[in-house]
Amino acid sequence: MSIYDNLNSMQQEAVFHTEGPLLILAGAGSGKTRVLTHRAVYLIEEKGINPYHIMAITFTNKAAGEMRERIDQLVGVGAESIWVSTFHSTCVRILRRHIDRLGYDTHFTIYDTDDQKNLMKDICKRMEIDTKLYKERSFLSAISKAKDELISPEEFTLRAAGDFVKERQAAVYREYQAMLYKNNALDFDDLIVKAVELLQQDGQVLDYYQERFRYIMVDEYQDTNTAQFQLIKLLAAKYQNLCVVGDDDQSIYKFRGANIKNILDFEEVYPDAKVIKLEQNYRSTQNILDAANMVIANNIGRKAKELWTDNGVGEKIDFDQLDSAYEEAEYILRDIQKKVRNGRYRYGECAVLYRTNAQSRLFEEQFVVNNIPYKVVGGVNFYSRKEIKDLLAYLKTIDNGRDDLAVRRIINVPKRGIGATTLSRVQEYADQEGISFYQALRMADDISNIGRGGVKIKPFVTFIQTMRSKVEFLSVSQLLQEIIEQTGYVEELEAEDTDESKARIENIDELISKAAAYEEAEEAPTLSGFLEEVALVADIDSLEDGSDYVVLMTLHSAKGLEFPNVYLAGLEDGLFPGYMAITADDPMELEEERRLCYVGITRAMTDLTITCAKQRMIRGDTQYNKISRFVEEIPGNLLTRAAKQKPAVKSQSEASIQSFGRAGAKLNPLFNTRNVYQNKSYQSTSFATKSTSKISLEYTNGDRVKHIKFGEGTVQQIVEGGRDYEVTVQFDKVGTKKMFASFAKLKKV
């Protein structure tokens, strides 16, 4: 029996079509990874292609690792020659070999988000930019978007002519790139941009990789941006054997630069392309798929496809509208407890998905109080913690002395008494001489106005130089341990003897374990290689297989995952879809939100529960939202919509809050009035202290009014309170809102 007999007819067609451009439209749960791995096997075993000429590329380390493992199992000998990698890892490998042709040193540093922020702060300070008016993050965002579209600083400057804000962004962009170059560093966007630049400018390098990668397969093609599209187009230009796999209905990363046109316009770029649809789903029940199909069918910008399965009809989707966000979290908690108690699921088979990170708080509070194991995916990244960044900065300085940010971070960690004035004079000298900050430190004796500061600098320079001399004969983990011992980093934490310092020591231990694991996995481990791997780790890769805890995550983080029991929380117009998408002029904004809903629904294998709240506290305001339009797009015969009665007996925390107002919140600080119901008389009284005179209204009950953000609506109720009026409005697009008249500034229409 052939391994290809386990594939369905459309999967077989995708595997057997090996020559020329191929677009595989793979619906959620349709076995696309199986197709890609079997296709690699078919190329080698049936077509006689040398594994060396095959490339498989995807987005996350987790996906690349899974693909590599499956290919190794199927192919056996020779599988290691297949290039299986993420986009960023691929570009790093290319640039490590050839970036010197662009004027960089091959020992370049990869800057993470915090490094970029620190560099931008320095630039804004140097350029005397008022960061109260122009935020550093807005500059970084503009630069990232430009790089996603392969817009250079020079082109950005030309496009900005006549626009003061964009001209300022252009100036910052030019300086930012100049500083990166000076520091021999690349940010994440540069990894793709510089690889494209290299291939465009150097025909010899381009020809080498076109010959190397004669058969290219790209996973998650709907998530590619313009720069990634151009990279793949360049590599595949010679042989045109390009197979892309993706689902336009799961394109949800526009905010990261993803360009859905890459997949929608594939046949325009490659007129000879063959298109194959994978519509059989192996993950979910038919009821879940029918709901997903009905929701996504409302999008216009998509390629038609309809998921189906042999898994059976399954249970209906449980839809529940609760009175408050607090009750929503409590309901989901109780449902998980019941299903675990009945033996239907383990905690690790349950996931709570939501639109925004802020929604996790109530679930976390409920789970902590009820002793339910859980993990929030997409929180603070391990490598963003202070102690980890400090030690990595030491390693970066040892590996690449031109990285000024790393050097400045650790020159006084631990404290060495090197003052700000001394550091400022070192920087001035570095700028005058056109050298790196570390080089200036090494030449401290030549800085005439440095005074006694030079004496304190020497031990630091001596230490770094000593560590550099040991790189060749110490492993990364040994080097790390020596840094910790020589600097006394852990010793200082032990002296603190607090829970926080103990946790930080545990994190350092984990970093050492990570270094040791890297050494064990690599045939030729290097310091540069370790720093490169650490820089490329994504949040989603931290999700451990087989762990028994409930997973809390945003819908964006959930893509690519599956769970037997899924809860979609907060399905309310204004929250999901959000106000910005509802009120946007571009209908594509709402279509992306609908695709996100489609992704959420299709994460569920057996059970799906959708919940929403009649009222929810957002940014300190109680909002009354309609049921999400996405829920309304699901046919009623697929849902159980039994009205949920309020509990006859309130929970102790809720009862105390409602009985005692602010005092109740103090009795149980875990749950405050923002979680349950706000006392209306307290709202009015607190506002009255801020008001000075009674306002007058130009509208009354039943009048049509307009709000600057929510648009037009009808006044439902006006309640006098203190020196203001509490106005309830049923808005046409975003549902019912309750607000104070002086703040709302409603206009009668």
Structure tokens that stand for 23 in this block: 């677009």
Which candidate in 18, 33, 177, 210 is catalytic?
Answer: 33
Distances (CA, A) of 480 to 388, 522, 530: 11, 17, 11
Which candidate in 112, 115, 136, 220 is catalytic?
Answer: 220
Output the CA angle 68-69-73, nearest 5 degrees. Answer: 115
What gap in Å lies between CA 704 and CA 715, rounded to an integer? 6
> Quick one: how far is CA 202 from the chain centroid?
33
Distances (CA, A) of 519 to 156, 392, 431, 513: 43, 16, 38, 10
- φ, ψ of residue 83 to 5 degrees: the values are -85, 105
> What SS3 class is residue 568?
strand
How many CB atoms are located within 10 Å of the residue 692 CB? 6
32 is catalytic: yes
Structure tokens that stand for 279 in this block: 């519509």
Which candidate in 11, 12, 32, 737 is catalytic?
Answer: 32
- φ, ψ of residue 48 to 5 degrees: the values are 70, 25
Which single residue is written with the structure tokens 């709901």?
291
Among 203, 251, 248, CA closest to 24: 248
What gap in Å lies between CA 418 and CA 426, rounded to an integer? 11
Which single residue is written with the structure tokens 């009120």?
583
Helix/strand number for the chain, H first, E second: 33, 21
What gap in Å lies between CA 276 and CA 17, rounded to an integer? 10
What gap in Å lies between CA 406 and CA 384, rounded to an integer? 14
> What SS3 class is residue 718?
strand
Strands (E), 202-333: 215-218, 242-246, 274-278, 317-324
Which single residue is written with the structure tokens 């987790």?
62
> What SS3 class is residue 618?
strand
What is the rounded (10 degree) CA torsion for 417, 419, 425, 428?
100
603 is catalytic: yes
Which candidate in 603, 674, 737, 738 is catalytic?
Answer: 603
220 is catalytic: yes
201 is catalytic: no
177 is catalytic: no
Which candidate in 219, 327, 349, 607 is catalytic?
Answer: 219
286 is catalytic: no
What gap in Å lies between CA 117 and CA 136, rounded to an integer? 7
Which candidate in 222, 250, 309, 611 is catalytic?
Answer: 250
- Are the beta carbons of 640 and 599 closer than 8 angstroms? no
Structure tokens that stand for 123 in this block: 């630039």
Sequence-distant (6+) residues with CB within 8 A of 642 are 320
User: Beta strands 242-246 and 215-218: pairing type?
Assistant: parallel
User: Beta strands 604-618 and 724-731: pairing type?
Assistant: unpaired
Q: What DSSP string runs through 375-429?
A: EETTSS-GGGSHHHHHHHHHHHHHH-TT-HHHHHHHTTSS-----HHHHHHHHHH
What gap in Å lies between CA 303 and CA 282, rounded to an integer? 21
User: Beta strands 747-748 and 735-740: pairing type?
Assistant: unpaired
Active site residue ranges = 32-33, 219-220, 250, 603
